[in-house]
Structure formats: structure tokens, C-alpha cells
Structure 1
Amino acid sequence: MLLSSIPTPIEHDWRHIENISIFESNESLLAVPNTQNLKQLPIYFDSNVNHAINICVARQSVIQKLQQAADLLPKHLGILVLDAWRSSAVQKALQEKIGDNIKTIYPHLSVDEQQQLLSDFVAPVRADFISPHLTGGSVDITLFNRETNEWLDMGAGFDEPTERSHTHFYEDQPTHPACQNRRLLYSVMNLVGFSNLPTEWWHFDYGNSLWAYYNQKSHAIYGAAHWDVVDHQ
């Protein structure tokens, strides 16, 4: 597969994204399956984030497209899903967790600057705002080696709130393994219809308002979704 470079990012503004119309498709949330080249690891549950569930679930079409993307990869690689649908309670917990990380990493920034940086990595938590993960249309993913189960080098840790996490960061370092690995992940996901959040190499969207924003669609097809843990036990 010929890997093209990752384009210079277009900054997102949550105020624009929340104004996009939603024509709800009513697609179901389903558990992400574990196949040979598509697997899940609910990372927030494993790291004891408050209210996180022990499974990755997403809209039906999102899962189908993830499998299509995985099938485009070289045979020794697969896609690992770390998070997908996320409740508002988990979103709030992550805002606090990553906000604390930012305060530790960037103590020299003002409170306003820290909040601006936080908005690059975590969507707002408000009663009148539908965050991308709440729709079941967002997935946080990485690539893994099917023979060793090791994650590929992406050049920045998952949820790392630094510029190294920006998807295009390694484009001026084409010999760095992370440059080619990011290009590969970006390419297969783009080919099957996902958009990428430019500040996070791991975050991809389909069907929600963030996807509509980056694909210049007139509307989104996924609004807020609900996964009832009790019903699925």
C-alpha cells in the first residue's frame, strides 16, 4: 500500500461542532468483536477510571468499518480498540485526569492556557453538548503485531497531552517508525470512511458531528447513545 503523508491539521472548534445538525440513524451499539486482526482492550476499565465499563462498544457500522480497515493492513498487523462509546461520567473523569496531567506537565501555563490545551485532547462535558465518544461513533485505536501482540511504535503514548500526539507530528521525520505507522493507520481508516482528530493520532470518527465537521457533511447520523450495563450482563 502506498502511504501518503498526513495532511496539515485543521483546528477544531467545539462551538462549531456542537451546532451541526444530527439526523439520528438509530443504529445499535454492539460489542467490538475479537477477531484475528481486530481486538479490544478496554483501557479505561483496566486503569480503574471511574465509571468505565469492561467492554468496548460502538455503533454497528463503526464496527463493520473497523474490520474493513483491519483487513487492509499487512497480514502480520491488526487494530486494537482501546475505547469507543463513553458515558458522560467517564468523560468527566477523563477531563479531570488529563487536566491534572496537563497541570503537572505545563505548570508554567496560565489556567486559561491549560484549559485550552485540555480542549485539544478532551471534549467538553456539558449537559447541552454531545461529546463524540457518547455517540458510539468515536474509537481510540492503535496497531498491534499479531505474532507478538506488541503495540507498534506510534511515537507518543495513548492520551499523552503533548504535541507529539498530534497526528502529523512526525511528518518531518519520515525515517522515524512512528511516521510510517501513523501513516498506515491513518490511511486504512481514511479509506473506509473515518476521519481523524488531528490532535490525537489514536482518535477516529464515523457518523458523529466531529466526522461531519471534518468531512464537510451537512449533518451527523449519530447523536447520543446509551449502553445499559445491566441489560447486557
Structure 2
Amino acid sequence: MTTPVLMSDPKVAVVPVAECGERLVDVRAGGALLVDTRKQDPADAFAYLREGVLARVLHAQELLPRGLRLLFVEGYRPLSLQRAYFVEYAEQLRALYPEWPDEQIHAAASRYVSPPEIAPHSAGAAIDLTLADEDGRELDLGTRMNADPEESDGACFTDATNISENARANRELLGSVLTAAGLVNYGFEWWHYSFGDRYWALAKGEGAALYGPKELDEPHLVR
């Protein structure tokens, strides 16, 4: 298994951002996507994506076999929440591995939570999602969504070998339609795909990211 580039890798941070100014849109408008509320927040920030990201996700859904749908779990995440998630997980790792230096804690934490300064979710560029049947029942993809590496013994990594053949096939199907629509996966999280952010730009050899950090209360939101 090829080790993916970490979100904390300096190669990601140095990618410039050429902010295109695209709107954040509510993925629930129109009802085309199944939307899970497990990550819902008081401001409903979770349900927003950049317009271009949503268009590509909807295209990916059209590529699925009959009877299957994408199940949206989380999109946009405010910077304040991203910081809280990162600090919380880093502290968990520090308690588990007190001998690790800060640099190692930071790198290990970025397998599961993006460092706030480059987080795709805070740009509205990333989506956490899975596969479901027409009734919204989740398919087996090997772990629960948002399982961390310690809990899952690394089975949360997209190319993990310690999952069933059925789960592997479902991961490959999910990846095939999303990559065909132009998104890229973060290989430490089978459920995380993005478009237009720094990680996407690095993976695709683009000169700059299209989307940088964005605040939800900016005036060009579409509900």
C-alpha cells in the first residue's frame, strides 16, 4: 500500500490559493442527495459546499448503479470547529503516546483531522460521505465513518487490507464515481473527498487551489 501524502505535509501548505469567490450552497436544496444529520450543528454549516463541489458530487451520484445513492454526512466546517477537532485529537494522541515529540503528534493528528490552516472542509471544498441503498441504509465500507486509525487498526485508510471483500468493493465503487467526477480522496480516510482545495491541487498537479478558508456568514450563500 502506497502511503498517502499527509495533510500536514509542507508540500500541501505551500500550494497557493487563487480564491475564485464561488458561493457556498446548501446541499439539501432540491433533495437530490440523501443527507444524514449526525454531524448537524446549530448553524447548519455541515450542509454547505462550494457550488462546484456539489455539482461534481451530483454528477458522481449519476454514475452509481441503479438502487444506490451517495449519503452526505458533512461538508463545510467553520475554522473554529476545525481547530477544536484538531486540538482534541492531538491531545488524545499525546495521552496515548507521551513520548512522541510535538512534530510527531501534529503529523499523526493530521491523518484524521486536517490542520486548521489548510483544512479542505473549512474552504467548503471537502465532503464526508458514504454509500447507501434507496432507503438510506448504509453499505458496508469496512469501518464506521470517522473511525480513527487507533480505533480501527488502520482499517479507516482507503487502501486498508484488513477489511472484507465486500467492503473493499464498495470503497472501490465510491472512489470510482467520485474520482470520475474530478474529486480526490484523502487516503487516510475512505469517506473524505475534495475538489478545489490545496490537497486537490497538489494531487492533480494544479498551480493553485481554487478555494481558501471561508466564513459561513459571508453574503453569498444559497439555501
| TM bin (shorter chain) | 0.7 to 0.9
Which residues in structure 2 correspond to 1:80-99 (within 5 Å)? 80-99=71-90
CA distance in 2, matches of 1:66, 1:55: 15
Unaligned stretches of 5+ in structure 2? none
Aligned to 2:40: 45
SS at match of 2:140: coil
Output the TM-score relative to the length of structure 1.
0.81
Code of the aligned partner of 2:38: I
Partner of 1:4: none
Q: d(CA) in 2 for partners of 1:188 and 1:118?
A: 28
Q: Is the 8 A contact 1:98 1:161 kept in 2?
A: no
Q: Does 1:158 align with 2:145?
A: yes
1:130 corresponds to 2:130 = no
Alignment: residue pair count: 215
What is the CA–CA distance in structure 2 between the aligned matches of 1:232 and 1:33, rounded to whole Å?
11
One-letter amino acid matched to 1:160 = A
- Secondary structure of 1:43 counterpart: coil
Kindly state the Cα deviation for residue 93 of structure 1 after the two structures are TM-superposed.
2.3
* Selected match of 1:167 from 158, 179, 201: 158
Check 1:29–1:15 CA distance in 2 against 1; reply closer, same or farther (3 A cut): same
Give the Å deviation of 1:14: 3.3
| 2:202 corresponds to which of 202, 209, 213 | 213
Residues 140 and 167 in structure 2, CA contact (< 8 A), matched pair in contact too = yes
- Percent of paired sites with the same residue: 25
Please report the RMSD computed on the Cα atoms of aligned residues, expressed in angstroms. Answer: 2.6
Tell me the secondary structure at the aligned position of residue 207 of structure 1.
coil
In 1, distance between residues paired with 2:70 and 2:174? 9
Which of the pair has the greater relative contact order for Cα pairs under 8 Å at 6+ separation?
2
- Shift of the 156–97 alpha-carbon distance from structure 1 to 2, 3 Å rule, reads farther
Aligned to 1:143: 131
Q: Any conservation in 2 of the 1:34–1:40 contact (CA below 8 Å)? A: no
CA deviation string 1:172-212 (max 9, x = no partner): 86x62110000000000000100000100000010110100
CA contact (8 A) 1:37 1:146 kept: no
Corresponding position: 1:11 with 2:5 = yes
State which of 16, 22, 40 in structure 2 corresponds to 1:21: 16
Q: Secondary structure, in 3 states, of the residue corresponding to 2:214?
A: coil
The answer (yes or no) to whether the contact 1:41–1:56 under 8 Å persists in 2 is no
